[in-house]
Amino acid sequence: AKKRGRDRYEFFTQALQAEIVETKKLADDILRGMENHEFEAFYQPQFDARSRDIVGVEALVRWRHPTLGLLAPDRFMRVAEELNVVTAIDRLVLEQGLRDHAAWREAGLVIPKLSVNVSARRLHDEELIAQLGGMDIAPGVVAFELVESIFLDEEDEVAMANIEAIKRLGIDIEIDDFGTGYASIVSLMKLQPARLKIDRQFIAPILDSTRQRKLVRSIVDIGASLGIGIVAEGVETMDHAKALQRMGCDVLQGYAFARPMTAETLAGFARGQQWR
Ligand code: C2E
Ligand code: CA
Ligand code: CA
Ligand code: CA
């Protein structure tokens, strides 16, 4: 028994060590990739549920890895967060987003809204507001998507002060992954967000379950009574889209319409408004 215990111990230490080595490699690779400008914003369009016009895009980071190809955030974000590189990624995505947005406009393409994801770390960054002040951000154009779990701590004064300053700069606050974070609805509403994004795990089952439809409808009701827009993410089929429109969602985003794409592809797509 003693030997078996030791074998297991060695197995776990080896597995742990292998994981540490892998994480370290990935961390070095991320830093190298940042130096090498391999990270890039993709854009997924968002549509008005009724008119079906493009009302905005969400910027989503991708890594053009020299050997592994195009990588989505699930491959690197956890380590990027541990490394604190996530604030640099958020900043890079916003800066590229503003540049692309300006280029679209110059090309005659009006994309009303540019949404970017903002990590907890960045929301707590003391330099955030100064940085934003130095950027050319027209009021009403940019939205920050903040995940609900950021607001678990109601006494979080740094975050609250930053949010007020962000709003004063004319940037909208959106609650991302709404319904997954266990923050109290009262504390969330105190933020007076412009929009709530219902997480896709609540959207997927609406066609099969009355209960799930009721849940979404009650979120829509909250939004309507407080003047907060409702965005549904992860809309995978047109049947979902129709149901969500009937339920009163304002904005729809998902594979049913378009996947995240490069800035250039987005320009072509928006011109075509292909999905009607
Ligand atoms: P999120 O903010 O919840 O973004 C939505 C995710 O759902 C995106 O995954 C998007 O590609 C995907 N998606 C969109 N429509 C559909 C659909 O119809 N079905 C399904 N199954 N998925 C859909 P992505 O691009 O892989 O990003 C994953 C997560 O990584 C994001 O989740 C966000 O939390 C994080 N992320 C992405 N870009 C950034 C960034 O620039 N900064 C920060 N801090 N986080 C980011
Ligand atoms: Ca998001
Ligand atoms: Ca989500
Ligand atoms: Ca998320």
Which pLDDT score is estimated for 62? 98
pLDDT band at 267 (very low <50, low <70, confident <90, very high): very high
36-50 tens-digit pLDDT: 999 999 999 999 999
- 140 vs 13, residue with greater confidence: 140
Report the distance separating Cα 119 and Cα 81, nearest Å: 9
Q: In angstroms, what CA-CA distances link 203 with 216, 218, 253?
A: 8, 13, 11
Which pLDDT score is estimated for 2? 67
- 207 vs 272, residue with greater confidence: 207
Report the distance separating Cα 223 and Cα 83, nearest Å: 36
- Residue with the smallest CA separation from ligand 1 atom 15 is 254
Give the position, in ligand 1's atom list, of the atom nearest the Cα of 177: 3
Q: Ligand 1 centre and the CA of 177: distance in Å? A: 10
Residue 275 reports pLDDT greater than 60: no
Q: Ligand 4 centre and the CA of 14: distance in Å? A: 32
Residue 85 reports pLDDT greater than 70: yes
- 151 vs 264, residue with greater confidence: 264
Is residue 117 in contact with ligand 1, taking CB distance under 6 Å? Answer: yes
Q: Ligand 3 centre and the CA of 202: distance in Å? A: 10
- Residue with the smallest CA separation from ligand 1 atom 16 is 234
168-204 tens-digit pLDDT: 999 999 999 998 877 788 878 888 899 999 999 999 9
Which positions ≥6 away from 267 have C-beta within 8 Å? 104, 107, 109
